[in-house]
Structure 1
Amino acid sequence: MPSSVLVAYGTTNGSTARIAETIAEVLRKEGVSATARPARSVTDVGSYDAVVVGGGLYAGRWHKDARRFVRRHGGELAGRPLWLFSSGPLDPSASERNIPPVPGVQRALVRLGAQEHVTFGGCLDEGARGFIARKIVDSGKGGDYRDFAQIEAWAGRIAARLVGRPATS
């Protein structure tokens, strides 16, 4: 059983951070040591037995911190269990159907031999940073579309794989 899992994330307004923290919390509840950290703050992944990397989606691209993380640590990530997630759709689509990874994330998925990728709904609320984000919120197209039951179920399946027991959902 892996003794330590890193959940690294790239976020601008904190929505993806909350998803990463939820994943780490579920892993810990399932008996797996897990830490959620901003991807830009991670200098070494050598002490982790498995890694989950997530990033918000902006204009069809993964957050720059997530992209840089997988480039910088690619050699080490390819040698351990790895899962990827994206967050972003500002509608219920991510809860209704599987949304495939954007092309850059798909390339990382294949190149690094990741176990799986999932796209979760995003969140963009009042006070969001960035000109485009503020325009989206001002136009009434923001909101919170994260499905925490879906996020928790996915994290539970990761935990089951890591501890070698059948997943319950």
Structure 2
Amino acid sequence: MPGNVLVAYGTTNGSTAQIAETVADVLRKDGLTVEAAPAASVSDVTHYDAVVVGAGLYAGRWHKDARRFVRRHRRALAERPLWLFSSGPLDASASEREIPPVSGVRRTMIRLDAKGHVTFGGCLVEGAKGRMARMIVRNGKGSDFRDFTAIENWAAEVAQELTGAPKN
């Protein structure tokens, strides 16, 4: 049973980090040892038994730190269980239906034989960094569309696969 898990993430405004921390908390509750860290700060993944990588979506692409992370560690990631998540739709669509991965993430899934991917709603609120983000918020299109129940349920499925524990 893999016991040491990394949850790496790429985020600009912190909302993807909150999703990653939620995933890590659920995995910990199921008895796994978990570290959640910004993707840019991770120098080695070889001492982890499994990895979850998540990133915010910006203009149809994963956050640059997550893209660089999977490129830099591709060999090691291909040798261990890997799950991916994206956050980004600034509407309720992620809660209403399954949203497929964007093309770059889909290629990563295939190349690294990832076990799964999910897209969660995003969050863009007052104080967001970036000209486009500020414009979206100013035009009233920003809000918090993250569904933490869905995030916890997905993380529980990952934990179940890692631990082999029966579903509740």
**TM, length-normalised to structure 2:** 0.99
Contact map agreement 1:4 1:34 (CA 8 A) in 2: yes
Residue equivalent to 1:80: 80
How far is 1:3 from its partner?
A: 1.8
How far is 1:2 from its partner?
A: 1.1
Distance in 2 (CA, whole Å) between partners of 1:52 and 1:15 is: 16
Is 1:94 the counterpart of 2:94? The answer is yes
1:99-138 superposed matches below 5 A? 99-138=99-138
Structure 1 alignment gaps of length 5 or more: none
Is 1:3 the counterpart of 2:6? The answer is no
How far is 1:167 from its partner?
A: 3.2
Contact map agreement 1:8 1:52 (CA 8 A) in 2: yes
Residue equivalent to 1:29: 29
AA aligned to 2:47 is: S
Distance in 2 (CA, whole Å) between partners of 1:87 and 1:66 is: 12
How far is 1:165 from its partner?
A: 2.2
Give structure 1 regions of 4+ aligned residues with deviation exceeding 3 angstroms: none
Please tell me the root mean square deviation across aligned C-alpha atoms, in Å.
0.6
Contact map agreement 1:161 1:167 (CA 8 A) in 2: no
SS at match of 1:151: helix
SS at match of 1:118: strand
Q: How many residues align?
A: 168
AA aligned to 1:72 is: R
Structure 2 alignment gaps of length 5 or more: none
1:154-165 superposed matches below 5 A? 154-165=154-165
Residue equivalent to 1:66: 66
Q: Structure 1 vs Structure 2: percent identity of aligned residues?
A: 70
